[in-house]
Structure 1
């Protein structure tokens, strides 16, 4: 089985959820400039999804990639949503994400993880992206945050539908890898426990960050390490609160999270460490982590993310965080601190 680390070109990629007008309507010229900056500064792994703005992120990413040699980058998208041509006259149901993509395209979205929907989802993504193949496909959001008490039935729908389609496509060499792309650990744990089909990795958003990692360390990451399965870390800035923003878990950050970030920042300031660097490097320190994919909507954020990856952080900073009970005793720290 090919590992994610062998497929991905670098330890940092670009997450395109913001390109789908997440939180706000991003002007086309701003989106284009940001994607151009990512490419020009060496980013060669791009992750997207039909959900992001009802196809808008894929369309914008496709405009960048249309002029690039296909062998020079790695591309992942997701299945579970089929974007229809008709306009959605309702409010749409995005679970805990609410109206996150309210400024996206108005197209109706079919939420389905069957074999047929998986094929249709891939076909739609290839068309919007303007490419002839995908490298990695994630099964998107078969978890509690979207489906509440019905999430296990959605996971079963994916097991008998999307999982089997993607395992077949991998065996045929059409894609290189597949796995789950979720915001919760439990669906991945259940999938890793299956005899067949076996995923190559997973994209875990928001659950292995400087602010929220304890739960992932308890069961999921030991299972993944034992099975040789890699993780792409989505949302390393916890929806923006670790990058100077005001959101956590796609909502306005609650007081206790604001206070925790304040405590982390106080220690970071004493050690002359940027919060972004601490966030990125913490998420990458676990042996299961293959890459981190922060998102951005402004060109200057790309340089910040790359600087965060390479910033020198003194071991004392990590020791101080641990002493202040701000990171789990079980969490591997950068540089073996």
Structure 2
């Protein structure tokens, strides 16, 4: 079993805040999320992100049973290592799947890749160290900047008792620069911020135009403790991804209530008066909170990541934000100090 000293180390002096940049790329699509990415498509995504100024890349062993890490590592090869931040996750080890039969895929877990491996939840110290070692091999890098405990919703005690102490040890020895947790909820992340010495958290879907629940627990705690917040899933799995809601669009992977569809259409009405689109608002909204440093988005194609970067750069009039708040269409918590 690897020990921290067996893992290639970064310099032990980490910066107070990681230079993540306003936009990061979440590489779940490189793991064939929902469907396989053609071999003439996926290799162009990271170069397009780089060209657009993205310097933060996030992945996980969970994404495509390691495929995302392997493809991301291949895509980053040759780029200057000291110019980008790389994060992956711990908590799920990959093991050979004894039940695999030719043709079996991981689509039950949303990834269109052969199910030759299976996941085993493991937040123990040994599990964390093994996960880091295996991720380094798949990514083909000599160091990882940030490690997140991945979705420990049903394992809060293990995360607090074993995972975070192991991650703290890796950070103190200079193996990683920072650690934290990534989840689809904000309440447990807020507890982690208050009860541990983590550096950064990734919160998916809980600080968006349509769901500001993180503003009531996580964001105040993070601001108080000086913890960076990365916001993911800003489109709430589809409803906010287009100029207007499309038939069949999802909200948090389910059919949205009509009230949210109507609210999104009204946001589009008001935004249109200012020449702004719903996706543009969705991308920029989280960064209005002082605790949020970065928005991470996925992309299926090079064109998609380039379009997201362009939307992030287009200014949004202050009058539009004020109007949306006055009409009760977006939470007032978004109208703050940035």
Q: TM-score range by the shorter chain?
A: 0.7 to 0.9
**1:10 and 1:88, CA in 2 relative to 1: closer, same or farther beyond 3 A?**
farther
SS of aligned partner of 1:297: coil
Normalised by the size of structure 2, how large is the TM-score?
0.87
Asked whether the equivalents of residues 177 and 200 of structure 1 are also in contact (C-alpha less than 8 Å), the reply is yes
**Structure 1 position 185 matched with structure 2 position 186:** yes
- Aligned-partner Cα distance in 1 for 2:257–2:100: 32
- 1:8 Cα shift? 2.1
Deviations 1:111-148 (A, max 9, x none): 221111111211111111111110010001012xxxxx
Runs of 5+ unmatched residues, structure 2: 1-12
**Structure 1 position 315 matched with structure 2 position 326:** no
| Of 266-275 and 167-176, the range deviating more from structure 2 | 266-275
Report the count of equivalent residues: 317
SS of aligned partner of 1:242: coil
Structure 2 residue corresponding to 1:116, chosen from 96, 104, 126: 126
Structure 1 residue corresponding to 2:228, chosen from 217, 227, 230: 230
- Aligned-partner Cα distance in 2 for 1:192–1:232: 13
Backbone CA RMSD of aligned residues: 2.3
Normalised by the size of structure 1, how large is the TM-score?
0.87
Residue 334 of structure 2 is matched in structure 1 by 331
- Aligned-partner Cα distance in 1 for 2:334–2:53: 29
- Aligned-partner Cα distance in 1 for 2:290–2:319: 21
Residue 27 of structure 2 is matched in structure 1 by 16
- 1:102 Cα shift? 3.7
SS of aligned partner of 2:97: strand
Runs of 5+ unmatched residues, structure 1: 144-150
Q: How does 1:122-271 map to 2 (within 5 A)?
A: 122-143=132-153, 151=154, 154-194=155-195, 197-213=196-212, 215-244=213-242, 246-271=249-274
Asked whether the equivalents of residues 321 and 335 of structure 2 are also in contact (C-alpha less than 8 Å), the reply is no
Deviations 1:290-337 (A, max 9, x none): 1111110111112211111111211221122112211122333586xx
- 1:24 Cα shift? 2.0
**Structure 1 position 276 matched with structure 2 position 279:** yes
- 1:41 Cα shift? 2.4
